[in-house]
Amino acid sequence: MAATRRDFMMSAAAIGAGYAVLRSNGIGRVLAAAEDVRDVPPEMLAGEESFWFDVQQAFAVDRSVINLNNGGVSPAPRFVLDAARRHFEFANQLPSRNLWTILDPQVETVRKRLARAFNCDAEEMAITRNSSEALEIAILGLDLQPGDEILSTAQDYPRMLNTIKQREQREKIVLKTFDYPTPPPSLEFLVGLFEKNITPRTKVILVSHMTTYTGQVFPVQRISAMARARGIKCIVDGAHAFGQIAFDGGAIGCDFYGTSLHKWLTAPHGTGFLYVRKENITGHWPMMAAPDPKKDDIRKFEEIGTHSDAARLAIAEALVFYEGLGPERKEARLRFLRDRFARRLSANERVTLRTSLDPAQSCALATLNFTDVDRDKLVAHLWNQHKIVVSPISHPGAEGIRVSPNVYTTLGEIDMFCDVIEKVLRDGLPA
């Protein structure tokens, strides 16, 4: 039976003393706090500041700046950084032995943990340095003929579209894109646009699970099913989705899923993964040559030579943090933080939301457009005068500033940002 808000307040008060002893370590605080509220619905917990205070303290971030660009890349909790530092120092003692023969094999445990979190077989999980590497492996490794088409949207990530454009120049593969209004009228509308733009030459669909410019969620399960029914490979760009919204990766039904772990999973920088559906592994070319490129071994996509294991091993700690916090709780909190600034600021008629606030269509990110405030000057003003970081978006039709808080963001920080924006709307930008 779901606990009521009163139950939550009473249990938090009773147990508060208990978890105080764990407060010397960020992760201990978070896990204990999460245990205390295990029956509280995520939407109810989203606004309980006493719970989120413990989560905020797990991050050693610089509070003299306000970072509202966590969509770009995010800080990791202290406990994750500590693990990476330990691995880095251990490897450094005797690299040829500690790095290659002790730490390298431990990556297999991380593979299994990631596969459990995404819900796939560990033999379908390749660990990469980011989404870009993962998705370039997916896009470049497919055998295609001149004239074959790859269908995507004009708002997919530029590097991924450039990867296809490079195939256009080298091999006469054709990139076809369509654009859509932001926000779109519905999820059905987006599926319909993909369906309408398929031609007999379409061999691949590249779709973002959540887009870079406005954080629009695409119904990737339905798009994958539609592609599969037509014999089209479906590559999902999950750079923003994994770790931000709770979902079952195994249920998507796509052929490839690439993500970064240094955005929303808050793993160390330079971490990502590529899921490759089992049936695709053998035929898919690795981007960096492997001894047997047509082997049925997911590790053939990880032939990058000597590299640090510190970041990739500490993915394990980032997963412990995420799972201990609870994916549904994190998602609800992120949406709560986003709604706080998006609803307040969009009450002003000179502010337009490029992002739908429908929970099925978005989560942590919102892009705000201002009718009569210069975007680039506003971004500069936010940083120069207020040390607030947001991301400028210039895609035609989606222009604005993208604002993306994270679980360590405080309500006070969001309110300070809103105060500054309202002052600019009232008084204009300083000359």
Ligand X SMILES: Cc1ncc(COP(=O)(O)O)c(C=O)c1O
DSSP letter for 39, please.
T
Give 56 or 132: the residue with its C-beta nearer to ligand X.
132
Tokens of 288: 């960096």
For the bound state, the minimum distance from the C-beta of residue 259 to ligand X, rounded and expressed in Å, comes to: 8
Q: Write out the two tokens for 405.
A: 């808080």
Smallest separation, CB 287 to ligand X (Å):
14
Output the smallest distance, CB 295 to ligand X, in A. 26
Task: Say if residues 56 and 407 touch (Cβ distance below 8 Å).
Answer: yes
Neighbouring C-beta atoms of residue 394, cutoff 10 Å: 10
**Could you list the residues that contact ligand X (CB under 6 A)?**
72, 130-132, 157, 208, 212, 237, 239-240, 260
Nearer to ligand X, 37 or 220 (CB): 220
Q: How far is the CB of 301 from ligand X (least distance, A)?
A: 15
**Minimal distance, residue 325 CB to ligand X, in Å:** 22
Q: Give min distance, CB of 132 to ligand X, in A.
A: 3
Closer residue to ligand X (CB): 56 or 355: 355
For the chain, the first-to-last Cα distance in angstroms comes to 58
CB distance 26 to 77 below 8 Å: yes
Strands (E), 306-414: 351-353, 366-370, 388-389, 391-393, 400-403
Q: How far apart are CA 75 and CA 408, in angstroms?
A: 9
Distance, in Å, from the CA atom of 203 to the CA atom of 194, rounded to the nearest integer, reads 13
Q: For residues 72 and 283, which CB has a smaller minimum distance to ligand X in the complex?
A: 72
Nearer to ligand X, 133 or 317 (CB): 133
The phi, psi pair for 17, rounded to 5°, reads: -65, -35
- The CA-atom distances, in angstroms, between 202 and each of 233, 240, 376, 396 are 9, 26, 38, 26
Q: How far apart are CA 147 and CA 155, in angstroms?
A: 23
Compare residues 212 and 369 and give the one whose CB is closer to ligand X: 212
Element (H, E) at 292: none
Name which of 91 and 254 has its Cβ closer to ligand X. Answer: 254
Task: Give the Cα-Cα-Cα angle 139, 144, 147 (nearest 5 degrees).
Answer: 110
Task: Output the smallest distance, CB 239 to ligand X, in A.
Answer: 3
